Chains A and B, each alone.
Chain A
Amino acid sequence: MTTSENADRQARIAAQFIAAIPHSTALGMQVQSVSGGVAEITMPYDKKLVGDPATGVIHGGAVSALMDTCGGAAVLCHDAGPIGTATIDLRIDYMRAATPGQTITARAECYHVTRSVAFVRATAMDEDTGRPVATATGAFTVEFAK
């Protein structure tokens, strides 16, 4: 396959993969881009995602779900070509509350893959892209076609 065919294939697979995840679609996640081990997924503001009714701020768990999905997508579009992945661990640091009403964008990078493990770091931002809402690091399992 040529590089562009490969990229197209990966983008298609990753986009379909996310669309097939009931929990991610239930949270309104949309794949913006996936290629070369980097994924970007957005999650529009929704009242059902609110974790603090006093402020309207999105629940940390929803941000975790976004980071987890984005991390998995980054693994699947890595050039090593894994066909399956699952989260081993994920650590999230919350820098600040996401501004109510704004879409949250997660960008995850799969920066190393071994025969069995993929390492990922991710950042979540709202519309103020200069100040991250949260960062995450995670390890994921990887499966390769036999």
Chain B
Amino acid sequence: MSASDKNTRPAPEPVQVVKQRRDRALQALVSGIPYVQFLGIEFDRRGDELTATLRYDPKLIGNPLLPAIHGGATAAFLETAAIIELGWARVWSDVESGALDVETMTPESLPRLPKTIDFTVDYLRSGLPRDAYARARINRSGRRFASVHVEAWQDNRSKLFAQGTGHFVMPEQNDGADAAARDRG
């Protein structure tokens, strides 16, 4: 908590202010990653819940005969959904508390992203030439390690075309913006 003790309950923030702050934070987290831009991955947000979208593009095709999305593109999509979910969970409280200032937030000022230790993808169906969606669930997130599961689907939420599980090393808490935020008090 900040040092300024409040005697009166502050008025709730206007909803637009809240949404803009969260969307800017998410944008800063995602927009700085060239490979995510190259693949065409976007994130939708409902509160703190994220859904990743892989916009279909002919360059994602791995089997032109079927045609089907390349397994590597699918793997990258799932891994990205997992990493952003972890990064997002990590910055959420600082964004909400104002410890991370979204006005001046850039990809460089954000905490470092987690590093992948291992990632396993199950290919359940071939990826069709259309948009794909993914949601990640953090099953365990400790100080140093995290385990994340990701589900990806296309037309039907209940018919997954791929799922993945990965383990990640979380960045040191005193890295980058985390430390800067603490220094600012």
A residues near B, CB below 8 A?
20-24, 26-27, 47-54, 58-62, 64-69, 72, 86-94, 97
Contact = CB atoms under 8 A, between A and B. Distances in A.
Contacts of A64: 72, 75-76, 79, 119, 121
How would you classify the secondary structure of chain B's contact residues: helix, strand, loop or mixed? mixed
Of B58, B68, B76, chain A has the most CB atoms within 10 Å of the CB of: B76
A68 to B, nearest CB: 4
B122 A22 contact: no
B80 A23 contact: no
How would you classify the secondary structure of chain A's contact residues: helix, strand, loop or mixed? mixed
Interface residues of B, number: 41
Contacts of B24: none
Nearest to B108: A54
Interface string B72-91: 11011101100000000000
Contact of B34 (A26, A47, A67, A97): A47
B150 interface: no
Interface string B38-52: 110000000000000
Given A21-B61, A53-B108, A61 B35 contact: yes
B107 A69 contact: no
B27 interface: no
Contact of B117 (A87, A89, A93): A93
Contacts of A23: 59-62, 69-70, 72-73
Contact of A61 (B63, B69, B76, B176): B76
A76 to B, nearest CB: 12
